[in-house]
Amino acid sequence: MADRFALCGRIVTNGREIKDGLVIVSGEAIEYAGSAGDYKQVLPERVQQAGGGIICPGFVDMHMHGIAGADTMDGTPEALQTISRTLAGYGVTSFLATTMTAAYDELEKAIRNVVETSRRGLDGAEVIGIHLEGPWINPRYKGAQQEEKITTPRLEDVRRLYELAEGMLRVVTIAPERAGALDAVRWLSERGVIVSAGHTGASFAEAQTAVENGVRHFTHCFNAMSGLHHREPGVVGAAMYHESLSTELIADGVHVHPAVMRILYRIKSAARLALVSDSMRAAALGQGVYELGGQEVHVTEKEAQLADGTLAGSILTLNRAVRNMVSLSGVPLAEAVAMASETPAAILGAGEHKGKLQAGYDADLIVMGEDYQVRATYVRGRLVYQS
């Protein structure tokens, strides 16, 4: 018989809050989620109280490289397990293992590892796909990626990495103005891969052409892309202009000013704005000197930088991103939670079974304190973290 239990307390999901909330889990799925007063059947024998905490859908991080000393590019099962276990402590129940610009043999190793390790199963957060960030980006907008490893997309290389991923390639970040990029955009989008404009210096007109050819998403909006000007809207302008297209936001208050975070939220709405961590291996380790793609990274309390001051990914976690949207940008809690759960799940095509507390959905849920610290995390009904 499937394990069956109930969680009682304040629920935040589907853009609303339920004070007398009840979530019943049966096996790997949610059996009921709603008001306790509306539930008329017999409760499970095991009933747990949230104890003043908030019950939320598990967070979905669609752009994260590493954490706790491990990185997707390490290409080992141990690294992916470390990432999976650590993410659970910050409320993430699903994530895309994200690569960075590297030689093709390094990318192939990382992709193989994600495919093989995911089949064996992970101890914490579930890896639900791969996000390929580079190597087909613009050198002028490389951010912390290594310029000597940046290359132009050739369909034979695109096809090889796609096939190697065995259906797990979910997102590809590309600079659409690069030679050969539009061919790659069309080829990938025809196969259901989300093509995202990022690390790009495209003009607004070039971004428009990219959208017409299949770009549907924008990688960490404002960062490593041509900015908004009243006579040349750039890629930022394109991200704002296309209401139906989605975009990412690194909501640490460093990559993007809190006022601009709120402006982007008001333009895109919670339904089209996904909070991402873009975290690198130094996340969750504290201040010090670390490594990213062979480069030395200096980490302070709030940010990670290369020696020249370039921001090098982030040390953000999604529970803090949710907190920042509420405390720094005045976003309602329920919408901030949605931007870390329901929205990314929907963008990734998983919105019918992940990202909400709703009957029939995967039992991916967390209990988070009023201080936004995660107390418990469940992945498909299995307790994978408890503080």
Q: Is residue 186 a known part of a binding site?
A: no
Asked if the domains 4-56+358-386 and 58-347 are classified in one and the same CATH topology, the answer is no
- Kindly provide the residue ranges of all beta strands, DSSP E only, lying in the chain, ordered along the sequence: 4-13, 16-26, 29-35, 46-57, 59-64, 66-67, 70-71, 92-98, 126-133, 169-174, 194-197, 215-218, 246-249, 273-275, 288-292, 295-299, 304-306, 365-368, 374-379, 382-386
Residues β-bridged to residue 12: 17
Percent of the chain with pLDDT over 70: 99
pLDDT at 1 over 50: no
CA distances 152 to 17, 149, 233, Å, are 47, 10, 25
Q: Which residue has the higher pLDDT, 107 or 2?
A: 107
Q: Is residue 199 a known part of a binding site?
A: yes
**Domain positions in the chain:** 4-56+358-386, 58-347
Identify whether the C-beta of residue 221 lies closer than 8 Å to the C-beta of residue 239: yes
State how far the Cα of 23 lies from the Cα of 33, in Å rounded to an integer. Answer: 4
For 248, the 3-state DSSP assignment is strand
Average of per-residue pLDDT across 205-228? 98
Lowest mean pLDDT across 1-10, 41-50, 142-151, 219-228: 1-10
Q: Is residue 224 a known part of a binding site?
A: yes
Q: Is residue 231 a known part of a binding site?
A: yes
For 4-56+358-386, give the CATH class: mainly beta
Q: Is residue 50 a known part of a binding site?
A: no
Lowest mean pLDDT across 76-85, 142-151, 231-240, 299-308: 299-308
58-347 maps to which CATH number?
3.20.20.140
Average of per-residue pLDDT across 291-316? 80
User: 312: which 2 tokens?
Assistant: 């090098």
State how far the Cα of 128 lies from the Cα of 93, in Å rounded to an integer. Answer: 10
State how far the Cα of 167 lies from the Cα of 383, in Å rounded to an integer. Answer: 28
Percent of the chain with pLDDT over 90: 89
- Helices 181-190 and 155-164 cross at an angle (nearest 10°) of 30
Q: Is residue 161 a known part of a binding site?
A: no
Q: Is residue 255 a known part of a binding site?
A: yes
**Residues 6+ positions from 231 with CB-CB distance below 8 Å:** none
Does 74 participate in catalysis according to the annotation? Answer: no
Q: How confident is the model at residue 213 (pLDDT cuts 50, 70, 90)?
A: very high
pLDDT at 126 over 60: yes
pLDDT of residue 290: 80
The predicted-structure confidence for 36-78, as pLDDT tens digits, reads as follows 999 999 999 999 999 999 999 999 999 999 999 999 999 999 9
Active-site residue identified among 278, 308, 364, 371: 278
Mean pLDDT of the chain, nearest integer: 95
Q: Is residue 102 a known part of a binding site?
A: no
Residues β-bridged to residue 299: 288, 304
State how far the Cα of 99 lies from the Cα of 79, in Å rounded to an integer. Answer: 13
The predicted-structure confidence for 318-375, as pLDDT tens digits, reads as follows 999 999 999 999 999 999 999 999 999 999 999 999 999 999 999 999 999 999 999 9
pLDDT of residue 305: 82
pLDDT of residue 310: 85
Q: Is residue 132 a known part of a binding site?
A: no
